A and B are shown apart, each in its own frame.
Chain A
Amino acid sequence: MSEVVSGTVGYDEVQAGAELPAVTYPVARLSLVKYCGASGDFNVIHWNERIAKAVGLPNVIAHGMFSMAQAGRYVTDWAGPGATVAEFGVRFSAPVVVPDDDAGATIEVSGKVEEKLDDHRVALSLTARSAGTKVLARARAIVRLP
């Protein structure tokens, strides 16, 4: 890890190629129930183990958008409150499987400063893994820093 940064980041301080420290976020069944309600996405595979298994999944899985939200939090926590997200995109490469136990699952997000762009913008490449599997691929955010 060549650079550890958190809180408010200024454009001039950022270096292309800098690795950002990884952060691990928990996912429990309750997280998914709350996300169903807040997002309006009540797809049964996110809360009903019986139906999730019947359609061929190993168990209830997290909403892809829940995982993307964790990656979004990773970006905004790094960039600080004065920054804004200009672009954010991901491909959902594997599901986050959330068992019905006390531990639940975790999503580990890491990132790297891919390049510095004009207009105080910085491109970050992101990686998210759960249980050793990459769950977000081609994840990239462009943030405008102060």
Chain B
Amino acid sequence: MPINPDYVGRTYPVSAPYEVSRVKIREFADAIGDPNPVYRDAEAARAAGHPDVIAPPTFAIVISMASTGGAVGDPGLGINYAMVVHGEQQFQYSRPLRSGDVVTAQTTISGIRSVGSLSMMTTSTEIRTTAGEHVCTAVSTLVERGAEAPAQEAAS
């Protein structure tokens, strides 16, 4: 079943505040295998011009994915999550996320389209500090494979 196109333009509620911590940044950097000291050592981060330890560029997915989950799980959309893979991802940063940031995320469905047996939904998630400063916009395209779609084409 294709994703319900009536949901384009829908904006979901602002998330609860998320506090970016040194411990979580280090865990994430360890998991991606990146030993860069600016993700671990506040002195190294300050020497590079940052107020505290910064997060790797893809760290924002931790925050944005929790927010887009609210949209993906919306029963009216009709998404079969077991058949969903990640199609595209973009980040636009005003500055790096860093330890001590307290941010919220808000997701809007910016596009839904179907091509053959594939349905695609694009979401845009704004990540701002609780003071209102824009830090990052994360744009994700999820692909729902239809039953007859070849898995290798779309999976990631």
Residues of chain A whose beta carbon lies under 8 Å from any beta carbon of chain B: 25-26, 31, 34-35, 37-41, 45, 55-58, 61, 63-70, 72-73, 75-77, 81-82, 84-96, 135, 138, 141
The answer to whether residues A25 and B88 also contact, given A39-B61, A85-B93 and a CB cut-off of 8 A, is: no
B31 closest partner in A (C-beta): A38
C-beta contact mask, B103-119 vs A, less than 8 Å → 1, else 0?
A: 00000000000000000
Chain A nearest Cβ from B71, distance in angstroms: 16
**Given A69-B58, A91-B87, A92-B85 in contact, is the A81-B36 Cβ separation under 8 Å?**
yes
Q: How far is the CB of B13 from chain A (nearest CB, A)?
A: 19
17 A-B pairs within 8 Å (CB atoms) are namely A25-B33, A35-B31, A38-B27, A38-B30, A38-B32, A56-B151, A64-B89, A75-B57, A85-B91, A87-B90, A88-B58, A90-B89, A92-B85, A95-B155, A95-B156, A96-B156, A135-B156
- A81: nearest residue on chain B (CB-CB)? B48
B139 — which chain A residues lie within 8 A by C-beta?
89
Asked if B151 and A55 make an inter-chain contact with CB atoms under 8 angstroms apart, the answer reads yes
In the bound assembly, the distance between CA atoms of A26 and B33 in angstroms comes to 9
Question: Is there contact, CB below 8 Å, between B57 and A72?
Answer: yes
Q: Which residues of B contact A89 (CB under 8 A)?
A: 88-91, 139
Asked if B44 is at the interface (CB within 8 A of a chain A CB), the reply is yes
Residues of A within 8 A of B88 (CB): 89-92, 138
Total chain B interface residues with beta-carbon distance under 8 A: 42
A76-B57, A91-B87, A92-B88 known; A35-B32 Cβ under 8 A: yes
* B56 contacts partner chain A, Cβ-Cβ < 8 Å: yes
The total of Cβ contacts below 8 Å across the A-B interface reads 127
Residues in A neighbouring B89, C-beta threshold 8 A: 64-65, 68, 89-90, 92
Interface string of B69-101 (1 = CB under 8 A from A): 000000000000011011111111101100000
Distance between Cα atoms of A92 and B152 in the complex (Å): 11
- Which of B33, B48, B86 is A92 in contact with, Cβ under 8 Å? B86
Shortest CB–CB separation between residue A58 and chain B, in angstroms?
A: 7
Write the B133-156 contact mask toward A (1 if CB under 8 angstroms, else 0). 000000100000000001111011
